[in-house]
Amino acid sequence: GQQLNQSPQSMFIQEGEDVSMNCTSSSIFNTWLWYKQDPGEGPVLLIALYKAGELTSNGRLTAQFGITRKDSFLNISASIPSDVGIYFCAGLQSIIQGAQKLVFGQGTRLTINP
């Protein structure tokens, strides 16, 4: 079942505002990732975090991997219309034979008011 709790579920903001969303887990993950999904498309990787406490930026995006390895946040600064979409956090979980799979949060739907 779902192991990651993502909040908020939806956000309605004005263009230019900053955005913050976070994800928590009852389990430890050694890698956290943030994805964005545009309507009618599959998710696309935004940022990957590999070390506890790591803070990583990608343009206007900043993400942090929590010290406990059970949480992460994503910030978007100075939002623009193309930031609209659904943002997912994901944790990388080991399965068998050295393989791994992604466990996803429920998503945060971002809407930008004109």
Partner 1 sequence: GAGVSQSPSNKVTEKGKDVELRCDPISGHTALYWYRQSLGQGLEFLIYFQGNSAPDKSGLPSDRFSAERTGGSVSTLTIQRTQQEDSAVYLCASSLGVGFYGYTFGSGTRLTVV
Where on the chain is the footprint of partner 1 (CB under 8 A)?
2, 4, 6, 9, 31, 40-45, 48, 88, 90, 92, 95-107
Which residues are registered as beta bridge partners of 24? 5, 71
**Residue closer to partner 1, measured from CB, 13 or 102:** 102
Quote the least distance from Cβ 113 to partner 1, whole Å: 21
Instruction: Tell me the residue type at 77.
Output: S
The residue to which tokens 């004109």 are assigned: 114
First CA to last CA distance, the chain: 37
Q: Which is nearer to partner 1, 56 or 77 (CB)?
A: 56
- Taking the complex as a whole, how short is the minimal distance between the CB of residue 15 and partner 1, in angstroms? 25
Cβ proximity of 89 and 32 under 8 Å = yes
